Each structure stands twice: as structure tokens, then as C-alpha cells.
């Protein structure tokens, strides 16, 4: 696929590949996403705003230039602004592909990092030379101010121009707890939410502290996604229960929403409200208990996001979908095109309840083709 190289959240040419529960495809303009939904469905989005989590600086002991990319919170509830998990790179910036970035100097517990107006101490290394737990010095207000003044959004080489915070905040962005944008939410706009309401589709949010998507190191990438704190409001848990009771589908906007909802329902299939930390990796072996369909970006094979999609469809359908995206030149990465995927009827063979047997091919997509 082609890398989307301009930070435009809703370009007029954005495309959507829709895959129904029987493995049938439809190519649509992405703003037709709402037309795939039915009255009574519930759309759930991640309302996390993105932190300026890339911090250039100096490793004090050696004087070597570094870049620190904050990658996770150390705690159940995101927001303790003093303690983070971070990935550390050597000299350079986002203009160099992550896999070509040099390693940082040897990092030891107790090492101090000078990051513009901020200072931080490495508390412990986490089983990899680039992955550390660190703690910032100072009061929370001073740390927030330092991040806002010195930090920039985490960025990759496929986008040449520097990203601004407004480039990576979705239309529903709220608490600043994500390290990279929950970019599936770029499909949403205020007009989209109005169209959902007019169609009789309900909308709710949760907050998951989306982590980084790539470190440039194969061994470290295999550990992604890292543990991600989330919060599900009481209103969202009740909306999910009500939608399921009336036979509506739960539509996740992005892989982060799938991870939060499935973790919250892991005991008995019922989404529990409150704070928790998502730790499981969702794969082709996972039995989805809550989410019936997902709208997300076009994820590349061999990534954790792509692996999550294998929980929705069979390997054969997923392979055909990848070929279809390639053949029709869909754009990938955070500002790219999108896919809409219904859960496959494969789940019925595994004894997983699947109430929603209607297909979008029987509804509005047929009118769009």
C-alpha cells in the first residue's frame, strides 16, 4: 500500500473498503461509513487526546544527543505525569526511518536525561536497551508545561512536514493521555456525529491511552502493544448493554476501542465500567465477546494492529482484503484510508454468540455500488 504522506484527517478522496460477515467486499467513499450502520447500532470511539510525546535532549552522563518517545503510563489510571515508560533513540529525528535510527548510549538506572526544560531519571531498564521506565523531576504543573513547550507529536519519516498537535487530535479528543493518535477516529467529524443521530445510531466514548505503533526494532515491536490504561464511563457501559439487548451492533472506531472493550468484558462478556489496564494481545485466536464490527485504518501485515483484525475474519478473508487494498492503491498509516469489517460467521462455528445476522450487503451498500 501507499503511505499517506500529508497530515489531512478527512481528505475528500479518502476511501473505505467494507468487508461484510460473509467476506464480500465493497469500495466506498470513506464518508459513506455511516451508511453501513443500522438504527439501534452503537458506535464507540476513543476520546483520548494525543500528548506531545517526542522529546529531544541529552543523556547527561555521556553528553550524547537522544530522543525520548514516551510510550506508556506507569499505573492503572493514566495521568500521573511524572512516571512513564519510554523508548529512547540516539541522535537524529523523525526524518530518519525508525529502523535506521542509531541506538542510544548505554542506559543505566540512575542516569539523568536533560529534555529541554525538563529533567528525568531512568528508574529501570525494561528488558531491552531502548525501553526504560523514567521519572520526571518537578511538580505536575511544571511537567505539563515542559511537555507543552518542548515536546512534539511522535512522527515517522513518511510525513515530511512537522506535525502540530491539532493534526493528531480527533474531533472528539478529550483527556490528553495518548502517545500516538487513536487515528481511526479521524473518520469522525461533527457532521458525521449528526448523521449518526439522524440515522438512529447511538454514539459513546471511552478513553484508552493509545501507545506507540513502531519502535524500529523487531524484538521490541513484538512486545507491542504495551499495557494501556483505559477508562470506560458508566454511561458507555450502559449504552453497550442497551444496544445488545435490543439487537444492535457494537461498532468500534479503531483497534484501541476493541482492546478496551474486550478486556473489560473478559470475565463474563459484560463490559464493566471503570479504570483498568488492557494487557492482552488480540489475535486470530481471540474470541470477541463484545465488538461486532470495526472501522479502522489500513494496517500493514505483520503488525499488532493487523493481527487484531484476524479476530474478526478468517485468514482467507484477511488475505483477500490485503490484496484488494493493494490492488486499489489504498493509503496506509495514520492519515490513510480505512476499512470497515464485520465479524465473520466463523464465530458461530466456535460457539461464540453472534446475534446480528443481517449483512450490510443487504442494506445500504448495495445502493452505493
The residue written with cell numbers 470497515 in the block is 340
Q: Does the pLDDT at position 186 exceed 60?
A: yes
**Residue 302: predicted pLDDT:** 85
Domain boundaries, the chain: 2-49+163-368, 53-150
2-49+163-368 adopts what CATH topology?
Answer: QueA-like (3.40.1780)
Distance between alpha carbon 191 and the CA centroid of its chain, in Å?
22
Q: Does the pLDDT at position 355 exceed 60?
A: no
Q: What are the tens digits of pLDDT across the range 14-68?
A: 999 999 999 999 999 999 999 999 999 999 999 999 999 999 999 999 999 999 9
Q: Does the pLDDT at position 274 exceed 70?
A: yes
pLDDT-derived band of residue 78, with 50, 70 and 90 as boundaries?
low
Cβ atoms of residues 296 and 17 within 8 Å: no
pLDDT-derived band of residue 353, with 50, 70 and 90 as boundaries?
very low
In b/e form, how buried is each residue of 46-77, taking b as 16+ CB within 10 angstroms?
bbbbbbbbbbbbebeeeeebbbbbbbbbbeee
Closest CA to 128 of 29, 248, 219: 219
Count of residues for the chain? 369
**Residue 75: predicted pLDDT:** 67
**Residue 287: predicted pLDDT:** 93
Three-state SS string over the chain comes to CEECCCCCCCCCCCEEEEECCCCCEEEEEHHHHHHHCCCCCEEEEECCEECCCEEEEEECCCCEEEEEEEEEECCCCCCCCCEEEEEEECCCCCCCCHHHCCCCCCCCCCCEEEECCEEEEEEEEEEECCEEEEEECCCHHHHHHHHHHHCECCCCCCCCCCCCHHHHCCCCCCCEEECCCCHHHHHCCHHHHHHHHHHCCEEEEEEECCCCCCCCCHHHHCCCCCCEEEEECHHHHHHHHHHHHCCCCEEEECHHHHHHHHHHCCCCCCCCCEEEEECCCCCCCCCCCCCCEEEEECCCCCCHHHHHHCCCCCHHHHHHHHHHHHHCCCEECCCCCEEEEECCCHHHHCCCCCCCCCCHHHCHHHHHC
Mean pLDDT, to the nearest integer, of 229-245?
97
**Residue 345: predicted pLDDT:** 59
Distance CA 206, CA 234 (A): 10
Q: Could you say which architecture CATH assigns to the domain 53-150?
A: Beta Barrel (2.40)
Q: What are the tens digits of pLDDT across the range 291-345?
A: 999 999 999 898 899 999 999 999 999 999 999 999 999 999 999 999 999 998 5
Cβ atoms of residues 44 and 365 within 8 Å: no
Q: What are the tens digits of pLDDT across the range 109-157?
A: 999 999 999 999 999 999 999 999 999 999 999 999 999 999 999 999 9
pLDDT-derived band of residue 363, with 50, 70 and 90 as boundaries?
very low
Distance CA 220, CA 148 (A): 28
Residues 6+ apart with CB under 8 A from 73: 79, 80, 83, 84, 85, 177, 209, 229
Distance CA 123, CA 110 (A): 6
Amino acid at each position: 500500500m501507499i503511505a499517506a504522506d500529508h497530515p489531512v484527517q478527512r481528505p475528500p478522496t479518502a476511501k473505505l473498503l467494507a468487508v461484510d460477515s460473509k467476506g464480500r467486499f465493497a469500495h466506498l467513499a470513506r464518508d459513506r461509513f455511516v451508511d453501513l450502520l443500522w438504527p439501534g447500532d452503537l458506535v464507540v470511539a476513543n476520546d483520548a487526546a494525543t500528548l506531545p510525546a517526542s522529546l529531544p535532549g541529552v543523556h547527561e552522563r555521556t553528553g550524547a544527543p537522544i530522543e525520548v518517545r514516551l510510550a506508556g503510563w506507569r499505573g492503572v489510571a493514566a495521568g500521573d505525569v511524572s512516571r512513564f515508560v519510554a523508548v529512547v533513540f540516539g541522535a537524529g529525528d523523525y526524518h530518519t526511518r525508525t529502523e535506521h535510527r542509531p541506538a542510544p548510549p548505554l542506559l543505566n538506572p540512575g542516569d539523568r536525561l536533560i529534555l529541554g526544560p525538563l529533567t528525568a531519571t531512568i528508574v529501570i531498564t525494561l528488558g531491552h536497551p531502548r525501553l526504560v521506565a523514567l521519572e520526571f523531576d518537578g511538580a505536575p504543573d511544571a511537567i505539563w508545561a515542559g511537555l507543552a513547550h518542548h515536546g512534539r507529536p511522535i512522527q515517522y519519516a513518511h510525513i515530511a512536514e512537522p506535525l502540530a498537535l491539532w493534526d493528531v487530535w480527533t474531533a472528539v479528543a478529550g483527556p490528553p493521555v495518548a502517545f500516538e493518535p487513536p487515528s481511526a477516529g479521524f473518520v469522525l467529524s461533527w457532521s458525521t456525529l449528526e448523521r449518526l443521530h439522524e440515522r438512529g445510531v447511538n454514539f459513546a466514548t471511552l478513553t484508552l491511552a493509545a501507545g506507540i505503533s513502531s519502535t524500529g526494532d523487531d524484538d521490541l515491536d513484538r512486545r507491542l502493544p504495551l499495557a494501556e490504561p483505559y477508562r470506560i464511563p458508566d454511561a458507555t457501559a450502559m449504552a453497550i448493554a442497551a444496544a445488545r439487548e435490543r439487537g444492535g451492533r457494537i461498532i468500534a472506531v479503531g483497534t484501541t476501542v476493541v482492546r478496551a472493550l474486550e478486556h473489560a468484558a473478559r470475565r463474563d462478556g459484560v463490559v464493566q465500567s471503570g479504570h483498568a489496564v488492557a494487557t492482552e494481545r488480540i489475535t486470530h485466536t481471540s474470541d470477541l465477546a463484545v465488538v461486532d464490527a470495526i472501522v479502522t485504518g489500513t494496517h500493514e501485515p505483520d503488525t499488532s494492529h493487523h493481527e487484531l483484525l484476524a479476530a474478526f475474519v478468517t485468514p482467507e478473508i484477511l488475505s483477500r482484503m490485503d490484496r484488494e487494498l493493494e490492488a486499489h492503491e489504498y493509503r496506509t498509516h495514520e492519515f490513510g484510508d480505512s476499512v470497515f469489517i464485520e465479524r465473520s460467521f466463523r464465530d458461530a462455528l466456535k460457539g461464540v454468540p453472534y446475534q446480528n445476522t443481517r449483512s450490510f450487503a443487504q442494506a445500504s451498500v448495495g445502493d452505493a455500488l
